[in-house]
Each structure stands twice: as structure tokens, then as C-alpha cells.
Structure 1
Amino acid sequence: MSIEATIRDKLERALRPTRLDVVNESHLHTGHRSSPGTGESHFRVRIVSDAFTGKSRLQRHRLVNETLAAELKGKVHALALETHAPSDVSD
């Protein structure tokens, strides 16, 4: 399973989002000194979940980081997060 698929699967199971966008941005970092060059190292996640209701931005980010702890310790070099409760968005 790809890192992108793993991220999606773990977040869906743990946080049951109403919206989840996982974007692989690794190609934007090709050739950077700190980039591992794996093609799956830099991701942007936009997630909307009831689990974030009443939580601060820091608490929301911690929930995501805890869910993806193994990936963040290993193959994922950078993770940009947009975390929202359903009441935060007006899709």
C-alpha cells in the first residue's frame, strides 16, 4: 500500500471525516537537500471531522499527528494540515 493510501486509510478509520483530501506534494520538493527522493515524502491533508469540534487548532493537529505517528517517524518528511470541524466550513 502506498503512503498516500495508508494516510487516507488511517485518517478515515480514526477520525471518520466528512471530507478528506490527501495530496502528494513530493514532486514539488524533488532535488531539495532534505528531500529523501522517494516520491512519497511530502503531503498536504485537508480534513473535516466531527472529532475536531470544540478543539483548538493545536489539539486537532495533535490528533492527526498521533494517528499518523508511524508514518511521521518513517517515510513522511513533511505534512501540511488543514483541520476543520463541520461548523468551520461552508461547502
Structure 2
Amino acid sequence: MKRKARISEHLTNGLNPMHLEVTDESHMHNVPEGAESHFKVLAVSEVFAGEKLIDRHRRVNALVRDELAGGLHALAIHAWTPQEWFDKGGGAAPTSPECLGGSKQTG
């Protein structure tokens, strides 16, 4: 099973999200083709209600801890309640910034 599918499965089981996007952004970074090392997550779930942002991120990180220990290098997390998602227009996660790591870094 590919890393994207495993991340989706862990988050679906742990968050019961009303909306979930898992995007492999590895191609935007200085990594070998097929690295599956950089991902972005938009998870919309009632479980985030009343939680601070740091606690939401901790919850998501705990659900994918095996992936983080096994080569997942970066995870951009957008963890919203359904109301926050609707307030933001119910659209996609924000665009990730350009990578500045490795050989892509400017002088």
C-alpha cells in the first residue's frame, strides 16, 4: 500500500472526517522521484471542536506516527472543524509555499 493510502486510512479511522484530502507534495521538493516524503493534509472533523491548534496537530501526528518514523519527512496539517471549513468556503487546503530546501535554496 502506498504511503498516501496509509495516511488516509489512519486519519479516516482516527478522525472520522466529513472531508479529508491527502496530497503528496514530494514532487515540489528536492527528493528522488517516488520518495513519498512530503504530504499535505486537510482534515475536517468534529473531533477538533474545542481543541487548540497545537492539540489538533498533535492528534494528527499521533495517528501517522509510524509514517513519520518510517520516512515521512514533512506533513503540512490543516485540521478544521466543519464550521471552520464552511466559514472558509468549503474549499481545498491552502497552497503550500515553494520549497527552499536542498538545491532549491536561493543564495
Paired AA for residue 11 in structure 1: L
Partner of 1:88: 84
Per the normalisation by structure 2, the TM-score is 0.77
Structure 1: which 5+ residue stretches go unaligned?
A: none
Spell out the pairing of 1:24-39 with structure 2 (5 A cutoff): 24-29=24-29, 32=30, 35=31, 37=32, 38-39=34-35
Once the two structures are aligned, what percentage of the paired residues are identical?
A: 40
Secondary structure of the 2:17 match is: coil
Partner of 2:62: 66
Per the normalisation by structure 1, the TM-score is 0.89
Secondary structure of the 1:89 match is: helix
1:44 aligned onto 2:40:
yes
Cα root mean square deviation, aligned? 1.0
Q: Which has the higher contact order (CA 8 A, sep 6+)?
A: 1
Structure 2: which 5+ residue stretches go unaligned?
A: 91-107
Runs of 4+ in 1 over 4 A off after TM superposition: none
Whole-angstrom CA distance in 2 between matches of 1:27 and 1:89? 27
Partner of 2:49: 53
Paired AA for residue 20 in structure 2: L
Q: Which has the larger radius of gyration?
A: 2
